[in-house]
Structure 1
Amino acid sequence: MQNFKELYTELAGLLSDKIPAIEWVDLWNSQIYNLEGEHPFPAPAVFLAFRSNRMDDAGVKLQKVELQVDVFLFYETFLDTFNGAYNQEEALAFLDIMDEINKLLHGSSGTAYSNMRRISFSPVDTGGAGNLYNITYRCELMDYSAVKEWEEDSFADMQIEPQGNNGFIVNQ
């Protein structure tokens, strides 16, 4: 089953496990604009946000979703990025992390999504010492969240038992 919770946990696990430089993964809630009032987090940090681009019915209460995944990379630094700065290499380390994120996600498919493609990236003004970039991807998933889940159960004087790939037997 694919749904948004599974998508988030899959992507968060992938980013945390495969990119050691990332110290924090969370859902996006404009945390960096409220650093003093929010729960503190270490940087580099990645925040994920989801929004639908298109939804098509694919069955009873089943939808095929074209999803936009925004990956916000926050890198807090007071180092200098200008050409020739003695600490330029350390200051530009966030660009390496952006490349690692793209290597990991672009062209990927997972258990909860398929056809991940980068469609844009851009800097976001923070008004502070941190670098914030938004890397936007598009992917597809099948949303089963509204589909009724069936379980084995008994009804009055009948019991339904699964029989492998051959269907069900009703015992009375």
Structure 2
Amino acid sequence: MEAWTDLYNEIAQRINDKLPEVSWVDLWHEQVSYLTEEIPFPTPAVFIGFNTNGCNDLSQLIQECDLQVDMYLFFESFGDTYHGAYNQGNAIDYLRLLSKLHAAFHGVSGEHFQTMRRVDMHREESGGSGNLYRISFNCNVEDASAQAEFNQNEVNDITISDEPIERPSTTDDEPIFILHV
């Protein structure tokens, strides 16, 4: 991957493709804890968070990172969802969606990440505003975002000569570069 946006866009697109019932995909920044201050979003919603567990240098500022991808599934639900309640169907739909989110990523490789595997799943505190579970996946990514970028330029002023090259005079602090072909 050349930028974290590559990874985020690939994961968000997979969520949109595999879980059409999800109404909102966003980066995680604890939106559900601040529902009154946040821009309203429709539910069910999936929020994505990234955490590196370690990185190894490869070369040319490229790193292989052991990455944890947290996916927060939020569904706004204020009614009773206990067994036999009028809102039990919503609870069942939520649990099915949680299972579909797991199935959409566990054992899957992408263009910007190696095979994901689920490493954790548990309920998160939502401030009483709904159901919030976090599924954590682990995968490896190759992060080339710090790699130097080179622009391709056209070079028009090259002269090739068979005549001997005279060494230029230099001072001690001037490097000399001679290309001999």
Q: TM-score, normalised by structure 2?
A: 0.82
| Farther off after superposition, 116-125 or 74-83 | 74-83
Q: Distance in 1 between matches of 2:107 and 2:157?
A: 52
Trace 1:61-140 onto structure 2 (pairs within 5 A): 61-140=61-140
SS at match of 2:115: strand
Q: CA deviation at 1:150?
A: 2.4
Q: Distance in 2 between matches of 1:111 and 1:57?
A: 20
Which amino acid in 1 is paired with 2:47?
A: F
Which amino acid in 1 is paired with 2:73?
A: L
Corresponding residue for residue 162 of structure 2: none
1:79·1:90 contact (CA, 8 Å) conserved in 2? no
Trace 1:27-42 onto structure 2 (pairs within 5 A): 27-42=27-42
Asked if 1:153 is matched to 2:153, the reply is yes
2:67·2:140 contact (CA, 8 Å) conserved in 1? yes
1:2·1:111 contact (CA, 8 Å) conserved in 2? no
Q: Distance in 2 between matches of 1:89 and 1:60?
A: 53
Q: Distance in 1 between matches of 2:33 and 2:63?
A: 34
Q: Distance in 2 between matches of 1:89 and 1:38?
A: 28
Which amino acid in 1 is paired with 2:93?
A: A
SS at match of 1:154: coil
Q: TM-score, normalised by structure 1?
A: 0.86
> Would you tell me which structure has more strand in proportion to its own residues?
1
Can you list the C-alpha shifts for 1:77-98, whole angstroms capped at 9, x where unaligned? Answer: 1232212224312223111111
Corresponding residue for residue 57 of structure 2: 57
Which amino acid in 2 is paired with 1:63?
A: Q
- Structure 2 residues without counterparts, runs of 5 or longer: 159-181
Can you list the C-alpha shifts for 1:47-100, whole angstroms capped at 9, x where unaligned? Answer: 000010010001120100110000000011123221222431222311111111
- Structure 1 residues without counterparts, runs of 5 or longer: 159-172
State which structure, 1 or 2, has the greater radius of gyration over its C-alpha atoms: 2
Aligned residues: 158
Aligned identity (percent) is: 41
Can you list the C-alpha shifts for 1:124-172, whole angstroms capped at 9, x where unaligned? Answer: 11122300001000011100011112232134724xxxxxxxxxxxxxx
Q: Distance in 2 between matches of 1:142 and 1:155?
A: 33
